[in-house]
Structure 1
Amino acid sequence: MTDLPRPAYAAPRKLSRWLLLFLLLNLLAAAIAVVTGFLARLPLVQLRKGVASDAVINAVLETEERHNLVSAVHGAIGIIVGILFLMWVYRVARNAHALAVKPMRFTPGSAVWWYFVPVFNIFRPYQAFFEVWSVSADPDAPYRNRRSDALALWWFLWLVSNALLTVAIIIIVVSRKDDIGSLLLGNIFRLGGDILAIPLSLAVMRIVVRLNKLQAAYHHRHHEAHKPDPRVPANANPAHA
């Protein structure tokens, strides 16, 4: 629970537009990375079968260089997406506190910094975001419906894709350049991470749009409910109405 002052509601329209734009770019970069990763795999398979001609070796070098370049661009876009996403999480968490009827467990700051705490970042960010989602969906009874398939899918894809890419990086770093088996294994994990990045981007885009609508809709209803009736004079005395 928190006793911090209630923040003012502020719709993150501009921030959301930038986030959605870079999520779309991330999706396209992931799709290209899947294609270049698959193309980089083909000459490696030939090398493993014993076909070690100059053409195959040159193909390995060319396709791997191209795939590394695409992966670097994809990674750079992913970093920008991560920064924008955490900024957006902080903003919607503040809005949830502005809409909440009862004190919330997670502060807007903790909804962000739990992502950087080892071990706890496996479950705490999801719990914080689930609270934001629940409060935004129904501030009066946030936990009436605890089911959220969209959030569960997002978090599953996030954990698995990051795990695959982490394993791929470890394999690439520790393996020898001439170890074809390790290169093929690293390629599989990279492909897996890139493939999952596509539905992950779509899931985050859906969550961003949906949560913004939930918060805006409740804020509008709450604002309209407390708007003074223009038919009643401001200095009217209720006792003589």
Structure 2
Amino acid sequence: MMRSIGGLAASLTVVLWITVAVSVFAAIAYLNRISVINDLLDFRGGLGAYYDLVQRGEDADDLVSVASGLGTVCSLTILVLLIIWMWRVAKNALDAGRRDPRFAPGWTIGGWFIPLANLVIPGLILQDLWRGSDPSIERGDPMWRLRAKGSALVGWWWATWVLSLVATVRITGDGDDRDYFERLRVWDSLSAGGQLVRIAAAILLLLVVRRITRRQEALFTGRPVVA
């Protein structure tokens, strides 16, 4: 009997769209702080105007902190839902006769928590889940891994996801000198760009989850894959 994955896929879809909205908000927050930094570095006004600029800077920092916090909540929620969904899809694949996968179902959990390897293993597992859900290959076919094709969609998602992790950087420490603010401006620019990549990754993951879910449902029901 197929384990239910439709509800998890729907929940992931909702959270991923929320993540897109949060990433847009975060990009705006970073760009806003860049604008404040530019004004600060070019400042030539009086004391009153300087205090106003300092207040803008504090508000910009608060906005970035809120965006960062919301992004963390979204990431953790996605991780939990995705792990559960992947585990169920992997177990369903075994029940469909997809024997001897490269990774046992337990790796859908453990693969996320091994440093450095977690940049590779989950992507490989998703490729296997894509192949294993191919409804054109009969259940129980011992040659399924050779017959099934991988997905460029999965590859693009994993590439953008890893890139978003690399691009979303953090500056450590504090300061009020020109060098500090120039570094902060550069890193905020990278982080704003990282949010755009994060948006692409979220949309691609949404498509991956939807496609695999529909393929596996078609595998078990014998019905055509819903576009």
Report the TM-score when normalising by structure 1: 0.80
| Cα RMSD, aligned residues only | 2.0
Which digits, 9 at most, give the CA deviation of each residue in 1:83-126, with x for residues without a partner? Answer: 11111111111111122343222111112211111121222221
Equivalent residue number for residue 28 of structure 2? 35
**Do the aligned residues in 1 keep the contact of 2:128 with 2:150 (CA within 8 Å)?**
no
Gaps of 5+ in 1: 1-7, 223-241
Q: How does 1:118-129 map to 2 (within 5 A)?
A: 118-129=115-126
Equivalent residue number for residue 176 of structure 1? 175
**Do the aligned residues in 2 keep the contact of 1:134 with 1:143 (CA within 8 Å)?**
no
Q: How does 1:109-148 map to 2 (within 5 A)?
A: 109-137=106-134, 138=137, 140=141, 141-148=144-151
Aligned residues: 211
Secondary structure at 1:107 match in 2: coil
Counterparts of 2:44 and 2:68, CA distance in 1 = 27
Q: Residue 25 in 1 paired to residue 18 in 2?
A: yes
Q: 1:97 to 1:186 in 2, by over 3 A?
A: same
Q: 1:106 to 1:57 in 2, by over 3 A?
A: same
Counterparts of 1:87 and 1:214, CA distance in 2 = 18
Equivalent residue number for residue 12 of structure 1? 5
Q: 1:218 to 1:177 in 2, by over 3 A?
A: farther
Equivalent residue number for residue 73 of structure 1? 70
Equivalent residue number for residue 156 of structure 1? 159
Equivalent residue number for residue 190 of structure 1? 191
Which digits, 9 at most, give the CA deviation of each residue in 1:5-63, with x for residues without a partner? Answer: xxx42131222222111111111111111112211110101222344733322222112
Which runs of structure 1 show a deviation greater than 4 angstroms over 4 or more consecutive aligned residues? Answer: none
Which digits, 9 at most, give the CA deviation of each residue in 1:184-225, with x for residues without a partner? Answer: 122122212211111111111101110010000010129xxx
Counterparts of 2:104 and 2:60, CA distance in 1 = 47
**Do the aligned residues in 1 keep the contact of 2:23 with 2:195 (CA within 8 Å)?**
yes
Q: Residue 83 in 1 paired to residue 80 in 2?
A: yes
Counterparts of 1:28 and 1:107, CA distance in 2 = 35
- Distance apart, 1:177 and its partner CA: 5.3
Q: 1:192 to 1:175 in 2, by over 3 A?
A: farther
Gaps of 5+ in 2: none
Q: Which structure's CA Rg is the greater one? A: 1
Counterparts of 2:122 and 2:165, CA distance in 1 = 15
Report the TM-score when normalising by structure 2: 0.85
Q: Which of 54, 57, 75 is equivalent to 1:57? A: 54
